[in-house]
């Protein structure tokens, strides 16, 4: 059997980090088994689904490198097929027409509640002669669900789960206006797309029993199901905005790299020994459903940030320069031109060592894009004592006499410090303040060289004067 897995988001909002993990697990599962990964946009709820939300989902998945092997299927385009299957079930005696009005259904529910029974449809039209149908009422079509026995799902994650069929009523598959219900549409689509494995959030587990009954009514092959425990916040509550970022594009905005997010999501709810850092190829090689845990996972933002730092250090300099330039360009106080880009490229090996996110990287690189006068952080200001300023005035001439390469500058700084009887830090820290307006930066020699002779000396002299 060739595996065909899918991600089936409803475009009613953002792409939640939990949805992204479901998509990733399906992709990895399909790839691991040499199968196909598909995408279906479940836009049947016309009122809640928006084209913008679809775009956001597609953009988020693309950013994460989660791309389907075939063009996405839009569920809304398949309504005629959903109806066709409902009529086929009707013809086969596995479904029936129900003429109950909304009022009658409401009364049915109220009576059941009053009698202490669960508020289910009581099968009123199940065996009734359609000749009794009231005039002028459009019927819905309901599944003729089995009344005895149980429906069993052998779940890849949750193990065997079962429900007594007396617990499930005859659900509507086609509404009286001819539109399909969601649970019916999902089954028809999964069947027609040849889906062999349905891996999704465990909030869908209870739906699965009803969906299995639709497969059975049609005599269709039933896919394997795997229901993933949800992602919770650190406090154990379902992950929501108040815990921090939840939408994939929000994580992008906050400066996380897509491969770090994927690695983090993979380790969130799936394990393979102690391995923490796995790239996509390694993830495909190792991923299978037996590594998925049954307990809800807890989102740990600190851990994600740490992992992102690891990926930042491994990332290609040119890519980080491009990402940082984009962020610098958004700040009107900065000049993101070719000069800045050249400085950034020169200093990137040092900058990326200390930044855990692209936001931190852009913050630490902003000084490269500034014009004099530099804004001074209080900690930098404190370093620029009158003695330090006098020292900088003298140092400017010394630096100007070098070749302005990092080794040349380093040698000159050491010789200067020694001659003055100062520790290197006593020279480097005020110099750093003068060059960057802060008290942190990569190595002072590399920082000087990246700024270049003209700009670096202008900054040193400006600090010496004020």
Residues designated catalytic: 241
Please give the full DSSP string across 228-295, using - where no structure is assigned: EPPEE-TTSSBP-GGGS--BHHHHHHTT--HHHHHHHHHHSSB--TT-----HHHHHHH--GGGB-SS
DSSP SS3 for 321? helix
| CB nearer to ligand GLU: pick between 7 and 416 | 7
CA–CA distances in Å: residue 181 to residues 103, 220, 466: 20, 19, 73
Output 4 or 356, the one with its CB closest to ligand GLU.
Answer: 4
In degrees rounded to 5, what are phi and psi of residue 42?
-90, 75
Q: ω before 373 within 30° of 0 (cis)?
A: yes
User: Binder to ligand GLU among 21, 78, 94, 200 (CB under 6 A)?
Assistant: 200
Choices 168-176, 197-205, 243-251, 380-388; region in contact with ligand GLU by CB under 6 A: 197-205
Query: To the nearest whole angstrom, how small is the minimum distance from the Cβ of residue 198 to ligand GLU?
Result: 6
**b/e burial code for range 276-311 (CB count within 10 A of at least 16 → b):** eebebeebbebbebeebeeeebbbeeeebbebbbeb
Window of 6-14, 99-107, 161-169, 286-294 that interacts with ligand GLU by CB under 6 A: 6-14
Least CB distance to ligand GLU at residue 139 (A): 27
The residue count for binding ligand GLU (CB under 6 A) is: 8
Burial class of residue 440, CB neighbours in 10 A (0-12, 13-18, 19+): exposed
Q: Is 204 in the site for ligand GLU (CB under 6 A)?
A: yes
Minimal distance, residue 211 CB to ligand GLU, in Å: 8
Q: What is the DSSP letter of 126?
A: T
Per-residue binding letters, 8-37, with ligand GLU (x by CB under 6 A): xxx---------------------------
CA distances from 39 to 4, 72, 89, 262, 390 (A): 11, 5, 27, 18, 66
Rule CB under 6 A: say whether 184 interacts with ligand GLU.
no
Q: Residue from 3, 83, 145, 186 that binds ligand GLU (CB under 6 A)?
A: 186
User: Is the Cβ of residue 8 or residue 188 nearer to ligand GLU in the bound state?
Assistant: 8
* Residue owning tokens 């999964």: 190
CB of 54 to ligand GLU, least distance (A): 12
Determine the interface stretch with ligand GLU among 3-11, 137-145, 162-170, 372-380 (rule: CB under 6 A): 3-11
Beta carbon nearer to ligand GLU, 198 or 456: 198
Judged on CB neighbours under 10 Å (0-12, 13-18, 19+), 375 is exposed
Would you count residue 42 as binding ligand GLU (CB under 6 A)?
Answer: yes
Which one of 5-13, 57-65, 228-236, 328-336 is the stretch in contact with ligand GLU (CB under 6 A)?
5-13
297 binding ligand GLU? (CB under 6 A): no
Binding segment (CB under 6 A) for ligand GLU, from list 4-12, 218-226, 277-285, 355-363: 4-12
Binding to ligand GLU (CB under 6 A) within 322-341 occurs at none
CA dihedral 322, 324, 327, 332 (to 10 degrees): -100
303 is a contact residue toward ligand GLU (CB under 6 A): no
- In 3D space, the residue among 303, 278, 251, 232 whose CA is nearest the CA of residue 18 turns out to be 232
Between CA 188 and CA 11 the distance in angstroms is 19
Q: Which positions from 164 through 183 interact with ligand GLU, judged by CB under 6 A?
A: none
Separation in Å, CA 34 to CA 27, 138, 140, 436 = 10, 47, 42, 52
Cβ nearer to ligand GLU, comparing 183 with 344: 183
Determine the 3-state secondary structure of 378 from DSSP.
helix
Minimum distance of ligand GLU from residue 40's CB (angstroms) = 8
54 binds ligand GLU (CB under 6 A): no
Least distance from ligand GLU to the Cβ atom of residue 293, Å? 19
Residues lying near ligand GLU in the complex (CB under 6 A) are found at 8-10, 42, 186, 198, 200, 204
């Amino acid at each position: 059997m060739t595996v065909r897995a899918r991600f089936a988001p409803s475009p009613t909002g953002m792409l939640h980090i939990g949805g992204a993990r479901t998509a990733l697990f399906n992709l990895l599962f399909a790839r691991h088994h040499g199968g196909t990964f598909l995408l279906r946009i479940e836009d049947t709820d016309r009122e809640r689904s928006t084209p913008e939300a679809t775009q956001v989902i597609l953009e988020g998945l693309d950013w994460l490198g989660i791309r389907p092997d075939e063009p996405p299927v839009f569920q809304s385009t398949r309504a005629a097929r959903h109806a066709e299957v409902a009529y086929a079930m009707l013809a086969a005696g596995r479904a029936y027409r129900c003429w109950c009005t909304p009022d009658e259904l409401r009364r049915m529910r109220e009576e059941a509640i009053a009698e202490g029974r669960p508020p289910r449809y009581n099968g009123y039209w199940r065996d009734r002669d359609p000749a009794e149908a009231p005039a002028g009422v459009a019927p819905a079509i309901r599944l003729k669900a089995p009344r005895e026995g149980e429906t069993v799902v052998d779940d890849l994650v949750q193990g065997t789960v079962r429900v007594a069929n007396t617990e499930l009523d005859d659900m509507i598959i086609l509404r009286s206006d001819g539109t399909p219900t969601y649970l019916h549409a999902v089954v028809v689509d999964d069947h027609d797309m040849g889906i062999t494995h349905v891996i999704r959030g465990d909030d869908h587990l209870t739906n699965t029993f009803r969906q299995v009954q639709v497969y059975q009514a049609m005599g269709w092959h039933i896919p394997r199901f795997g229901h993933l425990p949800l992602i919770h916040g650190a406090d154990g509550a379902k992950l929501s905005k108040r815990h921090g970022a939840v939408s994939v594009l929000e994580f992008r905005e906050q400066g996380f790299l897509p491969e770090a997010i994927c690695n983090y999501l993979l380790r969130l709810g799936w394990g393979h020994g102690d391995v923490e850092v796995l790239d996509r190829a390694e993830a495909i090689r190792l991923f299978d459903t037996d590594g998925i845990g049954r307990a809800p996972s807890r989102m740990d933002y600190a851990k994600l940030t740490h992992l992102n730092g690891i990926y930042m250090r491994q990332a290609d300099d040119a890519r980080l320069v491009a990402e940082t330039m984009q962020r610098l360009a958004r700040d009107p106080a900065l000049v993101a031109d070719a000069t800045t880009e050249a400085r950034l490229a020169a200093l990137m090996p040092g900058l990326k060592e200390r930044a855990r996110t692209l936001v931190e990287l852009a913050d630490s690189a902003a000084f490269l894009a500034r014009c004099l006068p530099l804004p001074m952080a209080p900690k930098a200001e404190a370093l620029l004592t009158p003695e330090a300023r006098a020292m900088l005035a003298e140092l400017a001439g010394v630096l100007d006499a070098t070749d302005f390469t990092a080794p040349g500058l380093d040698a000159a700084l050491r010789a200067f410090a020694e001659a003055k009887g100062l520790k290197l830090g006593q020279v480097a820290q005020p110099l750093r303040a003068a060059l960057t307006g802060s008290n942190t930066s990569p190595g002072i020699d590399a920082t000087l060289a990246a700024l270049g002779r003209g700009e670096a000396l202008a900054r040193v002299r400006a600090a010496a004067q004020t």
